[in-house]
Amino acid sequence: MIRYTVSAFTVPSQEERKSFVSLEKTPAVHAEKLASLVCLNTVRIGGTGTTTEALFFPFTVAAWNLERCLFPEESAAKLRETGAPLVLLSEMDLGMARTEQRDPTAIIAGELGMKHAYGVEFLELSLGSEIERSYCRDDFNEKGFHGNALMASVALKDAFMIRLPGEAVWFNDSNEQPRIGDRCAVGAIVETEAGPMVAVSVHLESVATAAYRERQLAALIDEVEALAPGLPILIGGDLNTGNHTGGDYATDTLFAMAEGRGFECHGGPLDQTSTRPSLITRFPDRAMKLDWFITRGLKIGESHLVSSLNEEGKPLSDHDMVVCTIEGFSA
C-alpha cells in the first residue's frame, strides 16, 4: 500500500521517458523501473476547501470510467446532476497530448468543489492509439500520466494507492500503447454521520482472465481490511468483468469471491450493459457490463446507470456512469 502523498508529482524528463521505450521488455525490468519511479509510488492530493465534516445519509456515490477524459467540464456537469458527494473516477489523463496536456481530475474537482486523491496507474510512453493521436496538437506528452481518482465533498483521510497484482501486460514491443505500470486502486477514509468508512476507486485489468481479475480484487480487499479493520467498505469502478473472456460479466469469478467475504455487488439492472461507442472507441466488438460497486457494511438502497451522452448526444466516454445510494451502515 502506497501512503506517501504529494501536492504535485515528480515528472520524469522527456529523455528519461524516451529511454524507457528501449528497455528490455521483461517483467523483472518492468518491476525494477516501476519501483524506481517516484511518480508511480505517490498519491497526489488536492482540491478546494470544504466546510462539510461528514456525509449525511442517504447520499449518492458515482463511479465513472471517463476514457482519458476528453471533456472534463462537461463530465463535471454530468456528475453534478447526480448530486453525488463521493465520486470514483478511472482512466483519467494528466499531462497527455490527447487531452490537451490538461489535468482533468483537478478540473472536475474544482468544478464540483471537492477534495481529490489521484494515483498514476501508467506512465504512458506513446501518444496512444491511432484514434487518440488524431486528437493531439503536440507530438509529446508533458507528463504522460494516466490513472484513477477519488473525490469527495468531505476530507479524504489517510489517502492511499494500491498497485494491484499484474504481469506487465502493457510493457511489450508489440503494444501500440507501451506503458510502465499496472492497474491500481486509489482510496481514503471518509467521515459519515455514523462514523468513518473506506471508499476506493478501482480499475481492474481488461486484458486478462477471470482468475487474474479475481486475484486483483482479492488483493485489494486484503489491503483495505488490513488498513481499516471493521470499517464499512465501498469499492467502485471498472472491474472489466467479461472483458477479453467472451463479454459475459457472469463468467467472472470475482463476484463469488467477494460475496464469500461478505460483500454485496451492485451495478444497476443486470440486463443493462455499461459500455457504448464513443469518440475514441468507435466500433466496439460488443456491449458489456463492466462497472460495479462492491460493498460491505453498507445499506445500498438503489443502483442505476447514467448515460454518458450529453444533451447533444455526444458520448463523453465509452462507459456509462454507475450510481448508487447509500442509506446507512448495516449491522
We report the CATH number of the domain holding residue 9 as 3.60.10.10
Mean pLDDT for the stretch of residues 40-62? 91
Banded model confidence at residue 51, pLDDT cuts 50, 70, 90: low
pLDDT at residue 254 in the model: 97
pLDDT at residue 247 in the model: 85
pLDDT at residue 173 in the model: 67
pLDDT at residue 283 in the model: 85
Q: What is the pTM of this model?
A: 0.95
What is the distance between the alpha carbons of residues 306 and 296, in angstroms, rounded to a whole number?
Answer: 23
Percent pLDDT > 70 in the chain is: 98
State how many domains the chain has. Answer: 1
Better-predicted residue by pLDDT, 200 or 50: 200
Q: What is the pLDDT of residues 77-93, one digit of tens each?
A: 999 999 999 999 999 99
Mean pLDDT for the stretch of residues 212-235? 97
pLDDT at residue 201 in the model: 98
Domain containing residue 274: 3-47+56-327
Please say whether the beta carbons of 152 and 97 come within 8 A. no
Least confident of 223-227, 242-246, 273-277, 304-308: 242-246
pLDDT at residue 172 in the model: 80
pLDDT at residue 195 in the model: 97
Q: What is the pLDDT of residues 235-246, one digit of tens each?
A: 999 999 998 888
pLDDT at residue 55 in the model: 97
Mean pLDDT for the stretch of residues 280-301? 94
Q: What is the pLDDT of residues 131-181, one digit of tens each?
A: 999 999 999 999 999 999 999 999 999 999 999 999 888 998 677 788 999
Q: Which residue in this structure is represented by grid cell 521483461?
A: 26
